[in-house]
Structure 1
Amino acid sequence: MTVFAALYTDEDMSALVATLLRSRGLDVTTVPEQGVLGKTDSEQLEFATSVGRCIVTHNRVDFERLHLQYMEEDKQHSGIIVVPQKNAYEVAQRIGILVSTLTADEIRNQLLYA
């Protein structure tokens, strides 16, 4: 069992959020670090899933749709965390609380709101 979910911040997430999450000891990578800027939301979710990471985004509408599509098609993903657009410190705090409360297994295939 993996305790903390590995995270992947979406293109619209501030780089500071990843820095703040890393300072909490969390395993985080970003779209720019992975060299996948400009990919569609669907491609980003597929990538995150392929590397076993929960995607973190501000994009509620598109990722709600993708989550429902995955469930209808009986496809697996490593989790989706939707966070409202707030300052980076509040966003990181919300994500930190969520991932410290739930294990990676509990986050898998879930659409969560922080």
Structure 2
Amino acid sequence: MAKPRLHLDADASYRALQKALTARGHDVTRTPGEWMALDASDEQQLLGSTAQGRCIFTFNIADFMRLVRKYPEHDGVMLANQQD
């Protein structure tokens, strides 16, 4: 089975997280990056991730719940509650 390709949205875009996952063999991109600008909207990040064949990881639960209803054809959205 192929490993999922992951994109860290601007809310969850920690270089240390990307580096740790990449070091373990995962294909991970983040905002900002080669194909995603720092000021990209949530919608742009979801659509860009989908175009890249990537699941997106975010802490922005409310906005992405709305977006997945608007765009049900995506490669996955992982929602996480951000805690201190």
Identify the TM-score tier after normalising by the shorter chain.
0.7 to 0.9
TM-score for the superposition, normalised by structure 1 = 0.65
Identity fraction in percent: 35
Give the superposed CA RMSD.
1.6
In structure 2, what is the Cα distance between the partners aligned to 1:38 and 1:16?
Answer: 20
Q: Please say if 1:85 is aligned against 2:60.
A: no
Partner of 1:47: 48
Count residues with an aligned counterpart: 82
Instruction: Tell me which residue corresponds to 1:18.
Output: 18
SS at match of 1:84: coil
Partner of 1:64: 65
Compute the displacement of 1:49 (Å): 0.7
Give CA deviations for 1:26-48 in whole Å, capped at 9, x if unaligned. Answer: 00011122241111101111111
1:32 aligns with 2:32: yes
User: Gapped runs of 5+ residues in structure 1?
Assistant: 88-114
- Matched residue SS, 1:49: helix
The normalised TM-score by structure 2 is: 0.86
Query: How far off is 1:17 after superposition?
Result: 1.1
Instruction: Note the C-alpha offset of 1:86.
Output: 4.3
One-letter code of the match for 1:84? N
Task: Report deviation, 1:57.
Answer: 0.6
Answer 1 or 2: which has greater helix percent.
Answer: 1
CA distance in 1, matches of 2:17, 2:65: 22
Equivalent residue letter for 1:69 = K
Q: Please say if 1:6 is aligned against 2:5.
A: yes
Q: Which runs of 5+ in 2 are unaligned?
A: none
Over 3 Å off, 4+ runs: none
Q: Could you tell me how far 1:56 is from its partner in structure 2?
A: 0.7
Structure 1 residue 77 displacement after superposition: 0.7
